[in-house]
Amino acid sequence: QQQVKQSPQSLIVQKGGISIINCAYENTAFDYFPWYQQFPGKGPALLIAIRPDVSEKKEGRFTISFNKSAKQFSLHIMDSQPGDSATYFCAAVSGAGSYQLTFGKGTKLSVIP
């Protein structure tokens, strides 16, 4: 059972545009939602994360929007740059005592000049 559904699988955006990646979850016990960025040949790296007690978190050009009632969250990349081309994974983890991150299947973003 896939507990975190991520879409789209791939995304092509022009330089300067907005990239939007969406995730939906089922488990209401999830209480921490990180996004990871992975470049080819590298391991994933934490990009930005949010807890469900806030509806939005912004770090530079990257913003997470969170809708607790709909059990959905999304990553927005403003002014997308070719250097943002990577695979992005959303993830979720439940609270105290849990060590397991549940990952979405990933979105391959290509930003074209």
Partner 1 sequence: NAGVTQTPKFQVLKTGQSMTLQCAQDMNHNSMYWYRQDPGMGLRLIYYSASEGTTDKGEVPNGYNVSRLNKREFSLRLESAAPSQTSVYFCASSARLAGGPNEQFFGPGTRLTVL
Q: What is 45-103 written as a DSSP string? A: EEEEEE-TT-SEEEETTEEEEEETTTTEEEEEESS--GGG-EEEEEEEEESTT--PPEE
Report CA-CA distances (Å) from 1 to 9, 26, 94: 18, 10, 16
Nearer to partner 1 among residue 97 and residue 113 (C-beta)? 97
Query: Judged by CB under 8 A, does residue 54 bind partner 1?
Result: no
Closest to partner 1 by CB, 84 vs 88, is: 88
Q: Residues binding partner 1: what is the number (CB under 8 A)?
A: 24
- Choice from 18, 46, 54, 112 touching partner 1 (CB under 8 A): 46
* Cβ–Cβ under 8 Å, residues 75 and 12: no
Among the listed residues 42, 56, 79, 82, the single contact to partner 1 using CB under 8 A: 42
Residues lying near partner 1 in the complex (CB under 8 A): 6, 9, 32, 34, 36, 41-46, 49, 51, 89, 93, 96, 98-101, 103-106
